[in-house]
Amino acid sequence: MGNSHPPDRVIHPWPLRLTHWVNAVVIAVMIGSGWQIYDASPLFGFTFPPLVTVGGWLGAAIAWHLACMWILVANGTIYFIWSLASGHFKKLFPIRPSEVWNDLRGALTFRLHHDLGVYNAVQKLLYVGVLVAGVMVVLSGLSIWKPVQLWFVCDLLGGYSVARYVHFFAMSAIAGFIAIHLLLVVMVPKVLPPMITGGRAEP
Amino acid sequence: MSPLYRREMLFRALALGAVSSLPACNYEDPDHPDLADRFLRMMSSWNDRVQQALFNPHTLAPSYRPDQITLPPRFNAYYDISQVTVVDPAAYRLQLGGQIQDKAPWTLPALNALPQQQQITRLICVEGWRVIGQWGGVPLGDFLRRVGADTTCRYVSFRCADGYYSSIDMASALHPQTILALSFLGAPLTPPFGAPVRLRIPTKLGFKNPKSLVQLAVTNVYPGGYWEDQGYNWFSGS
């Protein structure tokens, strides 16, 4: 009230940081073990080299995949509930096509200014996109895991064989997101510390 | 340290450093489980319990039309097709064990004389691929009741002519689509596909469909399985 200084505002609140880093570890195990499983029966004319797969053989890869899927889903659920309750999701909307175009041009010509904790339109689109991919990867994963008992999910995804492709492409979208995400962190390193410490919003 | 080796180590560290070191924890030595093995086993038994809860005895695996059958059929085992064990149908006996009242062995003609069921169902391999086939045989639930099996027991175990073995939960054993298959694609089973008798259970993955059965037992003692003992999830339901 009589305070002339606004209270310090954390850029990334602790629930966001916690779920972010749990997700970072778990998604790496899920993708690595998923690639090992893919190699047992490839959908396309390539396989993933052992260097980037997790498990060493099919049985261990499946064990890692089906163990860590619970952590992935539990962590994701906590993130969704917290984001809805805290209003975090409001930062991702609205996404206006004209802003996306402007910010994309700015980013590609290295002229986009980055304010910590403020999402530009390209970021918003990427974050919403990866959340959608996350939901799709879980639904298609359930379809592959339980095509008989969870037949209604499997049918929704177009059946078992289609669900395998959906699972692969959703993984590809997430892997693509991670590649861009890491590239941007390398280009703008100041965004990394706040994701660890929480940081303080610039006055 | 050669430059190439250094570069590879750098890639490991950069790409998936923490993750690439995990292959060391891969069920390689079942007698000496490390921390990762214990975590994976704990999660696998949790997954068994979830699947048991999720299993609905009335939910049927999808059936298919005859024109959807995968031709030619796909052979699959942990050995080459040339190594297949051939069982003499005339000398064949299915031995019964465990909590079963009438343990008299069954001949092939005796099994063929029982009421049969036909199904065109999908077999999903743990590797990801799937095939559609037509199997015919004796519903396992009918068979278990006929021989006086204690269906309150937890497990039905199977031993095969080639040394393979596996086991399933009683609820899945009593599922209407679980059969002791005697025919495949409208003809008696051939050795590569499990002659003379195999388990066909479309509510579980392919490796839970043991071939060339020589013994069936009902028990409360966890029987494991050839792949299950190496780390595959035991329930492995679809």
Q: Minimal Cα–Cα distance from A92 to chain B, Å? A: 29
The answer to whether residue B8 scores a pLDDT higher than 80 is no
Residue at B94 is within a domain = yes
Diameter over CA atoms, chain A: 68
Give the Cα separation of B182 and B164 in Å (integer): 18
How far, in Å, CA of B44 to CA of B50, rounded? 10
Which residue among A28, A54, A147 places its CB closest to the CB of B238? A147
Between chains, do A151 and B62 touch, taking CB under 8 Å as contact? yes
Question: Residue A142 has which token pair?
Answer: 């359930």
Spell out the residues 6+ positions from residue B53 whose beta carbon is closer than 8 angstroms to its own: none
Confirm whether B161 is domain-assigned.
yes
pLDDT in tens, B145-177: 999 999 999 999 999 999 999 999 999 999 999
Q: Please tell me which of the candidates A32, A62, A161 has its beta carbon nearest to residue B16.
A: A32
Kindly list the residues from chain A whose CB atom is less than 8 angstroms away from the CB atom of residue B18: 25, 28
For B69, residues 6+ apart whose C-beta sits below 8 A from its C-beta are B120, B132, B133, B134, B185
Residue with structure tokens 């024109």?
B67
Give chain A positions within 8 Å (CB) of B34.
none
Indicate whether B35 belongs to any domain.
no
Burial class (CB in 10 A: 0-12, 13-18, 19+), A46: exposed
- Residue contacts between A and B (CB atoms, under 8 Å): 110
- What does the pLDDT read at residue B147? 97
A71 touches chain B (CB under 8 A): no
Task: With beta carbons less than 8 A apart as the criterion, state whether A30 and A65 touch.
Answer: yes
Q: What is the pLDDT of residue B50?
A: 97
C-alpha to C-alpha distance for B204 and A149, rounded to whole angstroms: 10
Closest residue of chain A to B207, computed from CA coordinates: A59
Identify which of B22, B127, B233 has the shortest CB distance to residue A41. B127
CATH assignment of the domain containing B189: 3.90.420.10
Angle in degrees, 0-180, between the axes of helices A121-145 and A160-187, rounded to the nearest 10: 150
Give the pTM: 0.88
Separation of alpha carbons B133 and B192, rounded Å = 14
Q: Given phi > 0 = left and psi -120 to 50 = alpha, else beta, which region is A110?
A: left
Range of the domain at B77: 59-230
What would the two tokens of residue B164 be? 């393979």
Q: Is the pLDDT of residue A3 over 60?
A: no
Probe site for chain B from A148, A151, A166, A183 (most B CB atoms < 10 A): A148
Least-confidence region, from A27-41, A57-71, A144-158, B75-89:
B75-89
What is residue B155's three-state secondary structure? Answer: strand
- CA–CA separation, B113 and B142 (whole Å): 13
Q: Provide the β-strand partners of residue B123.
A: B131
Q: Is the pLDDT of residue B23 over 60?
A: no
**Burial call A132-162: b when 16+ CB within 10 Å, e when fewer:** ebbebbbbbbbbbbbbbbbbebbeebeebee
Say how many domains are in chain B. 1
Q: Check if A47 contacts B (Cβ < 8 Å).
A: no
Residue A85 C-alpha, separation from nearest chain B C-alpha, in angstroms: 29
**What is the reported pLDDT for A111?**
78
The domain spans of chain A are 11-92, 93-191
Taking the C-alpha atoms of residue B121 and residue B225, their distance in angstroms, rounded to an integer, is 24
Predicted confidence band at A122 (pLDDT cuts at 50, 70, 90)?
confident
Q: What is the mean pLDDT of chain A?
A: 90
CB B140 within 8 Å of CB B178? yes
Q: Is B119 inside a domain boundary?
A: yes
pLDDT at B9 over 50: no
With CB atoms and an 8 Å threshold, state whether B233 touches A51. Answer: no
Q: With H, G, I as helix, E, B as strand and everything else as coil, classify residue B103.
A: coil
